[in-house]
Copies of this chain bind each other. A is one copy, B any other.
Amino acid sequence: MPSFPHTPIGLIGFGAFGRLVAAHLAAHVTLRIHDPYVSEAGFAAAGVAPCGLAEAASCPVVILATPVSSLAEVVRAVAPHLRPGALVLDVGSVKVGPAAIMREGLPPGIDIVATHPLFGPQSARDGLRGLKIAVCPVRGGRARRVAAFLRRGLGLEVILTTPEAHDREAAAVQGLTHLIAKVLVAMEPLPTRMTTRSFDLVMQAVGMVRHDAPEVYHAIERANPYAAEVRRRFFDLAAQMDGELGEVEMAGTELCPTPS
Point out residues on A near B: beta carbons under 8 Å: 68-69, 71-72, 94, 96-97, 100-101, 118-119, 123, 131-132, 134, 159, 161, 164, 166-167, 169-170, 172-174, 176-177, 179-184, 186-187, 190-191, 193-199, 201-202, 204-206, 208-209, 219, 221-226, 228, 230-231, 233-235, 237-239, 241-242, 245-246, 248-249, 253-260
Contacts and interface: CB of A to CB of B under 8 A. Distances in A.
24 contacts: A69-B253, A97-B255, A118-B195, A134-B194, A164-B259, A164-B260, A172-B190, A172-B191, A173-B194, A179-B238, A183-B234, A183-B237, A186-B237, A187-B230, A198-B205, A201-B202, A222-B245, A222-B255, A223-B255, A225-B256, A231-B242, A234-B238, A235-B239, A238-B238
Contacts of A159: 193-194
B205 A177 contact: no
Given A173-B191, A222-B253, A237-B186, A245 B228 contact: yes
A208 to B, nearest CB: 4
Contacts of A170: 194
